């Protein structure tokens, strides 16, 4: 059973940026110590939430909204920057109220288990294609050659785009995604990528209006034709799904493979019994989430467990720490493919803004791992992975492997 501490005060910390929490082991030690001291803390940037019960209340609460206007401005992007600022603040994640309900409702069916399951041939085919590009090799970099490449090819095939555009999609996705890290030094990079992305999305939508195909954007344009969506909303959805489908899936896939390969017996089990892949993926996402920090802003003054949260408070919900909360879970820092305790994974957020593509992302990762197990049953780490596990996100750079 999950317990909730009733407090009237919280400690203070000096965190001003996610990196202040440290990386890897330091991150685990620091968040564990702070989480065990109290369910949250006040910092110069606002309220930090570290325990599972309170994190869930914030993410599901109606008195807290996603602060994409704040994220944009912290990254040096302002209303005067035009389309990109609008893209960040007015896409599905930035929508509120009836507009959010309307647009999200139009997308729910497209991301249902039935539709997502139909994408398996495209997903497996994408992995096989990038693997075939390697040829008959005994060693390669799993992150660079497959984990960070395959998702863009999947995106292309699921949306009837040529594979040749995949590397460009990866670059746009990586450059635009700097918006989530509050780093204004990347302003020029973001704006340049956003300008190219806007041009391409406009050209693609014009083409799909003239010649519809069986893809998401033709589906959305049908909704526009009946007055249910605007053309700008459709264009923003293209950019949002591109960013989520490439950068996020690729890094989460890489982090998951690191967990599976760091103990050879895990990969042997995956090869012998692919049915355990979903549980293994879920455990890896819990321990090393691509979405490790979720921000909210209090839209009204509230009280959580006796603590006053003023209207306008910036809230940082540390899903990384909350997913490792021992309240309701034994040995939460251990990777257990047979974990009996099951609880809602905060990797994808929660409430009305829970990631709409969560099922698709997990499905892509699971199908990719199953394909890799079939292609490379003897895969082993050939050296230490190069990756960064921060409170904000898992970022994978290199996973050297041998497959002979």
The enclosing domain of 264 has a CATH number of 1.10.630.10
Number of domains in the chain: 1
Host domain of residue 258: 18-402
C-alpha–C-alpha distance, residues 104 and 92, integer Å: 7
9 found inside a domain: no
Q: Residue 11 is encoded by which pair of tokens?
A: 């400690």
Q: Residue 382 is encoded by which pair of tokens?
A: 């050939």
188 found inside a domain: yes
115 found inside a domain: yes
11 found inside a domain: no
Helix (H) or strand (E) holding 294: strand 293-298
| Confidence at residue 9, expressed as pLDDT on a 0 to 100 scale | 86
Task: Mark the ranges of the chain whose per-residue pLDDT is less than 70.
Answer: 1-8
Q: Residue 157 is encoded by which pair of tokens?
A: 């095939």
335 found inside a domain: yes
| Confidence at residue 3, expressed as pLDDT on a 0 to 100 scale | 45
In three state form, how does the secondary structure of 60-114 look?
HCCCEECCHHHHHHHCCCCHHHCHHHHHHHHCCCCCCHHHHHHHHHHHHCCCCHH
194 found inside a domain: yes
Burial class (CB in 10 A: 0-12, 13-18, 19+), 325: buried
361 found inside a domain: yes
| Confidence at residue 10, expressed as pLDDT on a 0 to 100 scale | 95
| Confidence at residue 7, expressed as pLDDT on a 0 to 100 scale | 61
303 three-state secondary structure = strand
| Confidence at residue 2, expressed as pLDDT on a 0 to 100 scale | 41
| Confidence at residue 30, expressed as pLDDT on a 0 to 100 scale | 96
Query: 328-344 burial, b if ≥16 CB within 10 A, otherwise e?
Result: ebeebeebbbebeeeee
Strand 307-309 relative to strand 386-389, pairing:
unpaired
* Strand partners for 140: 401
C-alpha–C-alpha distance, residues 299 and 42, integer Å: 18
C-alpha–C-alpha distance, residues 268 and 347, integer Å: 26
- Supply the pTM of this predicted model: 0.93
219 found inside a domain: yes
């Amino acid at each position: 059973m999950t317990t909730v501490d009733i407090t009237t005060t919280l400690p203070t910390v000096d965190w001003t940026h996610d990196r202040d929490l440290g990386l890897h082991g330091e991150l685990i030690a620091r968040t564990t110590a702070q989480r065990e001291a109290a369910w949250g803390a006040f910092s110069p940037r606002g309220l930090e939430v570290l325990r599972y019960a309170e994190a869930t209340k914030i993410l599901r609460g109606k008195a807290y909204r996603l602060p994409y206007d704040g994220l944009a401005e912290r990254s040096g992007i302002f209303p005067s920057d035009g389309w990109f600022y609008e893209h960040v603040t007015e896409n599905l994640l930035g929508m509120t109220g009836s507009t959010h309900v309307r647009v999200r409702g139009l997308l729910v069916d497209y991301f249902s288990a039935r539709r997502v399951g139909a994408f398996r041939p495209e997903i497996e085919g994408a992995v096989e294609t990038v693997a075939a590009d390697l040829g008959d090799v005994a060693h390669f970099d799993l992150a660079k050659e497959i984990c960070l490449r395959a998702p863009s090819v999947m995106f292309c095939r699921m949306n009837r785009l040529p594979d040749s555009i995949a590397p460009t999609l990866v670059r746009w996705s990586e450059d635009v995604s700097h918006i989530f890290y509050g780093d204004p030094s990347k302003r020029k990079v973001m704006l340049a990528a956003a300008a190219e992305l806007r041009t391409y999305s406009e050209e693609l939508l014009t083409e799909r209006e003239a010649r519809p195909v069986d893809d998401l954007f033709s589906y959305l344009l049908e909704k526009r034709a009946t007055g249910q969506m605007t053309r700008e909303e459709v264009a923003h959805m293209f950019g949002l799904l591109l960013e989520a489908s490439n950068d996020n899936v690729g890094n989460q896939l890489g982090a998951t493979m690191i967990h599976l390969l760091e103990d050879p017996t895990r990969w042997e089990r995956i090869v012998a019994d692919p049915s355990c892949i979903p549980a293994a993926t879920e455990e890896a996402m819990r321990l090393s989430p691509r979405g490790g920090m979720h921000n909210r802003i209090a839209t009204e003054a509230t009280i959580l467990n006796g603590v006053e949260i003023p209207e306008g408070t910036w809230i940082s919900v540390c899903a990384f720490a909350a997913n490792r909360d021992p309240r309701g879970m034994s040995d939460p820092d251990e990777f257990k493919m047979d974990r009996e305790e099951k609880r809602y994974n905060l990797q994808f957020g929660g409430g009305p803004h829970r990631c709409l593509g969560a099922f698709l992302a997990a499905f892509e990762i699971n199908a990719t791992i199953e394909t890799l197990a079939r292609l490379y049953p003897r895969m082993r780490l050939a050296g230490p992975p190069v990756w960064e596990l921060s409170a904000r996100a898992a970022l994978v750079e290199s996973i050297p492997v041998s497959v002979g």
